[in-house]
Amino acid sequence: MPSLPRPTLIVIGGPTASGKTLAAASLAKHYGTGVISADSRQFYHAMRIGTARPLETELLGVEHHFLGHLELEEVWSAGAFARAAEPVLQDLLTTRGIAVLVGGSGLYIDALLKGLDPLPASDGHMREELQERFQANGLAPILEELQRQDPATWSRIDRQNPHRVIRALEVCLSTGRPYSEQRTAPQDRTDVDIIRIALDLPRKELYERIDQRVDRMVADGLVEEARSLVPHRELNALRTVGYRELFDHFDGTLSLDEAIEVIKQHTRNYAKRQLTWLRRDATWKWLHPTEHAQHIVHVDAHR
């Protein structure tokens, strides 16, 4: 008798607006399994439009996990995600033999695939001091200090994410060593076959997709959603592209047209950082987002 395929985890990565949701849902539907979302921006229930959280119709009837399940006040780390996602993954592998993981948050994907580095626990006093500096002077001075302390981390970190920037600088200051030196290169877990697919399309096409998505968000009510969230603007969840720029607009710093253009620019910058993260790992197979048949061929060839 032929042996059964080993449990398989298909990972769909790619920059924002590249078509990850449809690619993942299409594969999951084909293989009769579910999708685990590792998009940390789509975890929050109140942030549907600004994070482009997919509508029910876009999920193709496939069960998705970790979409809109958190309240704004809840703070999740990559470790918290991995701990919550592990039993979901094991259930899918046990009942279906295959699962799909999708998202643009590289740290969260790695947390489930590789585990986490044993970094020091958070230093409450230093974290509070850095948060106070951030509230008083913004993120730019903290980024400058991170660049001095650890140029390697500064070059690759998401500079629009205060939580990650502050945590990296906190580790540098509390240990006296660069954060990057304390990161290891953990290996993939061995209890499951991992098949990585990265969505690849020309830069011009990607940027057009980003611009169109932002315009669609505005048409769908992004400004109104952001206005309703102004009372919560200091929460970590809302310190993200799409909301910060509109908060500046509400403050009178930017016109609405300027805010929309800055959202587009910041989203393009974020996409470039996502691509940099993906390209550091040669195990990703780069395929066009709409070539769903090729995605299936690639998975079948490696099972």
What residues contact residue 37 under an 8 Å CB cut-off, 6+ apart? 43, 64, 65, 66, 67, 102, 103
Coil vs helix vs strand at 94: helix
Mean pLDDT value across residues 214-223: 98
How deeply is 125 buried, as exposed, middle or buried, from its count of CB atoms within 10 A (0-12, 13-18, 19+)?
exposed
pLDDT value at 1 more than 50:
no
Q: Which pTM value belongs to this model?
A: 0.82
Instruction: Identify which of 242, 215, 220 has the alpha carbon closest to the alpha carbon of residue 229.
Output: 242
CATH of region 124-182? 1.10.20.140
pLDDT value at 18 more than 90:
yes
pLDDT in tens, 254-275: 999 999 999 999 999 999 999 9
| CA–CA dist 65, 303 (Å, integer) | 24
Give pLDDT, residue 204.
97
How deeply is 262 buried, as exposed, middle or buried, from its count of CB atoms within 10 A (0-12, 13-18, 19+)?
middle
pLDDT value at 185 more than 80:
no
Opening angle at CA 229, ends 142 and 46, nearest 5:
100
Instruction: Identify which of 210, 163, 216 has the alpha carbon closest to the alpha carbon of residue 43.
Output: 163
Neighbours of 291 (CB within 10 A): 14
Give pLDDT, residue 157.
85
CATH architecture of 8-117+185-302: 3-Layer(aba) Sandwich (3.40)
pLDDT: which is higher, 177 or 218: 218
Q: Confirm if 152 and 178 have CB atoms less than 8 A apart.
A: yes
Coil vs helix vs strand at 206: helix
Give pLDDT, residue 253.
97
Place of tokens 């989203």: 267
pLDDT in tens, 197-210: 999 999 999 999 99
pLDDT value at 211 more than 80:
yes
Neighbours of 27 (CB within 10 A): 24
pLDDT in tens, 57-108: 999 999 999 999 999 999 888 889 999 999 999 999 999 999 999 999 998 9
Coil vs helix vs strand at 191: coil
pLDDT: which is higher, 303 or 198: 198
Question: Could you tell me the residue ranges of all domains in the chain?
Answer: 8-117+185-302, 124-182
Helix pair angle (256-279, 203-220), 10° resolution: 140
User: How do 35-37 and 193-199 pair as beta strands?
Assistant: unpaired
Coil vs helix vs strand at 98: strand
Give pLDDT, residue 217.
98
Sheet holding 8-13, edge to edge: 64-65, 35-37, 98-102, 8-13, 193-199, 285-287
